[in-house]
Structure formats: structure tokens, C-alpha cells
Amino acid sequence: MSLTPSSIDAAFVTQAEACRNLGSPFTAALCDILRRDLDARSAFGRRILSWGERATADALPLRAAGALHFLARSGRAPELAAVYPPQAPDEAALRRALASAIAAHDASLAAFLDRPPQTNETARSSILLGAALCVADLVKRPLEVLEIGASAGLNLHFDRYAFELGVGCWGAPDAGLRLVCDWRGEPPPLAAPLEIAARAGCDVDPLDPALAADRERLLAYVWPDQTERLARVERALALAARRDERVARADAGDFLAARLAAPLAPGRARLLHHTIVWQYLPLETKTRAKAAIAAAGAAATPQAPFAWARMEADGDMRSAAVTLTLWPGGESVALGRADFHGRWAQWNARALSPMS
């Protein structure tokens, strides 16, 4: 049977298509199987079937896929692990293993759905670096960085990685993690004086990279047939666990209202950034966040600039829009587009006038 109502069915169809476009045929097949086979005989199935109109906004298919990947990685369901990558795909075997795993681990799978998915893709740091370099080149002063939807804080530390962009390299060779991005179009200003003076992030359900359970939860949301992504996130988690900074548990609207109203240290600029989070925020959170951003922009001066950089979905399933708004003035610039997982960037940024 097919999932109902139509909003839930559509969420799984759309997610399967996105997985195919982003190079995860296994997760696409998993979404298709769940869409066809789930029913109300399990608590896991009942939770999904009764989710309601927020199935897409709550990333329900990613919650379900994450629950099953977490179980497969746990060692508690060897029959499920046996049909997960790197094993060769076998749809019939996967369907049998899924039915068995759901029957045997129903309660824990249903409970896993309670928490929102974390897509803390570290390779998006290449895009954040490009935006931050543009800001640094314009304002010529150290940056105080804020991030919403920061998960475990992996992209909050974007400047601590090494980058190979094709158009040039950036960062210390011994950074501990090297990110490769196929950079197309205009190169970012790699020589800009980028200095991060302070950083803080929030998430409605932050993960602590120092806790094994939180690391496993984050890894469960990485699609299992994308081994390079898994290895990259594991390395980034290990590096983040050594740092003192942790992501605050807070609603994005509340966080921004407090942080953006706080005085900016003399001689600095403030940069708010986020990647693939806006679509998941509730309407009331977006409203508060927009109001806080607008107020911060209105209060910005040439001596205390404010920048807002975001990489967010805009309806094109092939890539995300990368946009920068800078105050005072409030001019928005389309920096370009980027692969959702940071594999490539198409940079079209035109030059802006440096601020005095």
C-alpha cells in the first residue's frame, strides 16, 4: 500500500528523488520501500502515517532513514546491517530485513522519530568560507560569527579546515581535515584578511561531538552509501570534540533576538550564516528571526557592519542559492549556487565596494 495522506506520500517521493539527484541510490530505494510497505501494524509505521501536513517541513523521510541507519550501525540488528552498504544492493533482501527489523525494534525506531534530523554536512564549509572571505574583503575587520541550525557545530568552525577549491587553496595544511570543492566561476578573495574573533551557534536539538551517542546519531543521518561523507563527518566530529565551544540549545528566533541585540565589540563586524536550515524552521521562528535580522541591519553602521550569508533551498532541487546581505545599506547579492552537499560551487559574485 502507498503511504497516506498525500502530504506524507509526497514527502517520501520528493526525498527519494532528491537522494537520487545527490548520489544516494540506496537511500532513494529505502524511501521508496518505506512508502510502499509501511502500514499501521507497527508503532513506527503508525507514527509516520499519522504525521500530518508537516511531513516535508519536519523532514520525516530523513527521520525514518536515520532511525534505520542508526539501528543498522548499532550492532543490534545484524540482519539489517547485512543488507546495508557496503553490501551490494538487493531490494528484495532489503525489504525482508526492514520488515524484520521494524518488528524486532519497533519501539526504539518509533522513538527515534521524535527528534529532528541533523544534516551537518561539513563540506558546506567551503561555501561558508567563500561568503566569509567576501565579507572580510569588504569590511576589513575581524568577524563575530553566529550560526543557526548549527547541530554539532562542525560548520561553525569552517575557518579551521584546509580547503582545496581548484581555483586555489586556503587554510593550514595541518588543519586535520581537508575539504575539496569543485569551484566554478569567479574565485573567492582568498587573500582577504579573514579573522574570526568570536563564534556562537544554536540548534533546537544540539549534538555534542564529545558524546558517543550524539556522534552516532549525527552519523546515522549521513546516507550509508556515501562513504566519503561518513568519513568526513567522523573526522570533523573528532576535531570538534577537542574544542571548548558547544552549540547552545535555543530556538533560532530567540537566539538571534538576544545575540543580535548585544553590543558588538569595537573594531569588529558581525556575520550571521546558515546552511539548509531555513526550510525547517516553524513560521513563528522565522518571523522572530526576520525581525531580529531587520533590527540588526537597521542598527548597523560603517563602524559596526552586519552581514547575513545563507545557503538555502529555493525550489531548485539540483542546488541551493547562496546569498549575502550587508548592512548598512541592506544590499543583497546573489553570490552563486552550490551543491547541497558542498561538492561544487558556481560563484557569480560581482565585486562590491569595500566599506570604510
Q: Mark residue 177 as left, alpha or beta (left: phi above 0; alpha: psi -120 to 50; beta: remaining).
A: beta
Q: Tell me, what's the pLDDT at 93? A: 96
* Three-class HEC string of 14-27: HHHHHHHHCCCHHH
Q: Tell me, what's the pLDDT at 356? A: 45
Could you list the beta-strand ranges (E) of 149-233. 162-164, 169-170, 178-180, 182-185, 196-203
238-256 pLDDT, tens digit per residue, is 999 999 889 999 999 999 9
Q: Tell me, what's the pLDDT at 27? A: 97
Pick the CATH number of 122-347 from 3.40.50, 2.30.29, 3.30.70, 2.40.50: 3.40.50
Q: Tell me, what's the pLDDT at 119? A: 76
**Locus of grid cell 529555493:** 314
Q: Tell me, what's the pLDDT at 4? A: 55
Contact 289, 256 (CB under 8 A): yes
**Locus of grid cell 568570536:** 198
Cα distance between residue 312 and residue 37, in whole Å:
32
21-71 pLDDT, tens digit per residue, is 999 999 999 999 999 999 999 999 999 999 999 999 999 999 999 999 999
Q: Output b/e per residue, 213-233; b: 16+ Cβ within 10 A.
A: ebbebbbbbbbbbbeebbebb
Q: Tell me, what's the pLDDT at 92? A: 95
Q: Tell me, what's the pLDDT at 111? A: 98
Q: Tell me, what's the pLDDT at 1? A: 44
Bridge partners (DSSP) listed for residue 272? 146, 308
Question: Does an H or E element contain 95, and which?
Answer: helix 91-104
What is the arrangement of strands in the sheet containing 162-164, beginning at the earlier edge strand? 169-170, 162-164, 178-180
So where are the chain's domains? 6-112, 122-347
Q: Which residues of the chain have pLDDT under 70?
A: 1-5, 350-356
Q: Tell me, what's the pLDDT at 346? A: 97
Q: Which among 272, 23, 18, 44 has a CA at the least distance from the CA of 143? A: 272
The Cβ of residue 176 has, within 10 Å, a number of other Cβ atoms equal to 13
The Cβ of residue 122 has, within 10 Å, a number of other Cβ atoms equal to 25
